[in-house]
Chain A
């Protein structure tokens, strides 16, 4: 199929149908409203389920109910709405229910703003809900990549029986870009959902996250941990951009990675060998990308649309082998590539002097 021009949020909606989404539950919040708007008619046309819930709290619990009943369910929201969903996400993870959550991030804390931001990194990767659980999370950079990951997310969620989150910022949600919607969705093997409460007479299956006996709860936690270990091993995704000879490595994802692509071109024109490690999965964080860094690298600059959140994971991955510095803009401010160029040069000068 030929490429078509699509708006980010609409591309997400189209991709969710392609991924086999059977039910969408959501509540309006800027800058992701085109997702429920599109699905409000597209799901109906496809004979599937669309419900505008009374809140994000209700949305995520409707997802819980539908996922527990064995169908592919999804919700979308933006940062403060995702905060409201954290309780439900914890329950979904605890009850081992698959679902897809799209987070079109905006600035915070609190009501914050409606401009693009990546300040939900902690909320997504550390989880705002209670307990030992993880959400598998991806942070794509282009609309094509976003579409492909959203569609695949349903497979990954079913495979792990765990929530999968796709985190983009408001810029990716709102911008238009050409995409090819006719892509293959990688399918996974997983057992039939015989755990689902379909209501079949004579069955007594229970969807639950309560284990009052501490021995049982610890056993359950260890079982979940095994699953997360498997995800850590198998789901790390990243892209390396001009890293082979790099003296400075930028770590950036999503919209920030797009800006950094321009910045490293300028840096290389100016004689600075710069490259990018672009995390595509943010949980699990692509630690493997940091295992064997080129010997030429003198420092790592972590760039985010936040006050510095992913830098914690970068430091863990680098494990003190190299200096790690931060550059970021927050509150919905988007840097010019020149700001990153200047930050990289300043950093290199400091490293050179050490």
Chain B
């Protein structure tokens, strides 16, 4: 007898992914889709942002809106207020969220908007060809920090999960990674928790993913995953930074 051991999530379309080989967006899309599917079928609306994941609206098999650069959380606020019954998520990179869109993101969290933010931190601007991001590590060379990021000139890399953990109306804040199977399992659990909190109307949830950009980092995919483990997790420790806890509390 044939037995199905794996199938693509129904929350992903058949559109070919536009991501570079070795990029972790594919894994994170898969995890997001699988987590959404587990809570479905239910009304779901996603918000794509500007950056490598701009075409996320082609990949997630649900109603999608494409937002201006940095404005995903404002757009998601409008959507969630209009359709409170829908599961609403944004999918944003580090340029979009941590740089140009930090105000919209912080204020959505501060209002306690019942939305889930999936934040992809790969320490670089991928779509535009490898420029410095607010999350670029000290010493990391990019096309606009060719001598390496240095604290005196560029400041320190911004730690989003730690910042959002301070916001009272943020119900769930976690930083996860996808550099090995154990990390992938934890990442999926974090996503499910974030969506659960949204469904329970607990407030804002954000899951920060440490992600790889082999092309702009100048590494092989395997080297890139190793670089996440050795360099990124040292500065961006994995873990749950805020958990509003059980409903009864």
Contacts and interface: CB of A to CB of B under 8 A. Distances in A.
B76 interface: yes
B103 A58 contact: yes
Residue of B40, B58, B67, B75 contacting most chain A CB atoms (<10 Å): B75
Given A58-B74, A207-B66, A65 B104 contact: no
Interface string A177-216: 0000000000000000000011111111111111000000
Contacts, number: 137
B75 A62 contact: yes
Contacts of A259: none
Contacts of B88: 199
Contact of B74 (A62, A67, A95): A62
Contacts of A55: 103
Given A57-B71, A58-B104, A68 B57 contact: no
Interface string A44-84: 00000101011101110111111111110100000000000
A22 interface: yes
Interface in A200-251: 200-210
Nearest to A49: B81
Contact of B78 (A62, A91, A204, A208): A62
Nearest to A66: B78
B81 A51 contact: yes
Given A197-B64, A207-B66, A65 B107 contact: no
A209 B83 contact: no
A87 to B, nearest CB: 6
B71 A68 contact: no
B45 interface: yes
Given A199-B45, A208-B65, A208-B66, A61 B75 contact: yes
A288 B82 CA distance: 40
Interface string B224-245: 0000000000000000000000
Contacts of B66: 95, 206-210
A88 interface: yes
B194 interface: no
B62 A203 contact: yes
A87 B69 CA distance: 10
A205 B86 CA distance: 14
B218 interface: no
A95 B80 CA distance: 19
B81 A204 contact: no
A25 B44 CA distance: 22
Contacts of B61: 204
A73 B81 CA distance: 11
Contacts of A62: 74-75, 77-78, 81
Contacts of A95: 66
B79 interface: yes
A65 B13 contact: no
B38 interface: no
A153 interface: no
Contacts of A200: 43, 63
A137 B75 CA distance: 24
A43 to B, nearest CB: 11
Of B44, B77, B82, chain A has the most CB atoms within 10 Å of the CB of B82
B64 A69 contact: no
Contact of A199 (B57, B62, B74): B62
B85 interface: yes
A93 interface: no
Given A55-B103, A198-B43, A49 B82 contact: yes
A197 B71 contact: no
B78 A197 contact: no
A253 B62 CA distance: 46
Contacts of B82: 22-23, 49, 65-66, 69-71, 73
Interface string B101-120: 00110010001000000000
A342 B83 CA distance: 58
B137 interface: no
A202 B79 contact: no
Instruction: Please list the 8 inter-chain residue pairs (A to B) with the smallest Cβ-Cβ separation, ordered nearest first.
Output: A65-B78, A199-B43, A199-B86, A197-B63, A61-B74, A66-B78, A201-B41, A62-B78
8 contacts: A22-B82, A58-B74, A67-B78, A197-B63, A199-B44, A202-B41, A205-B63, A206-B64
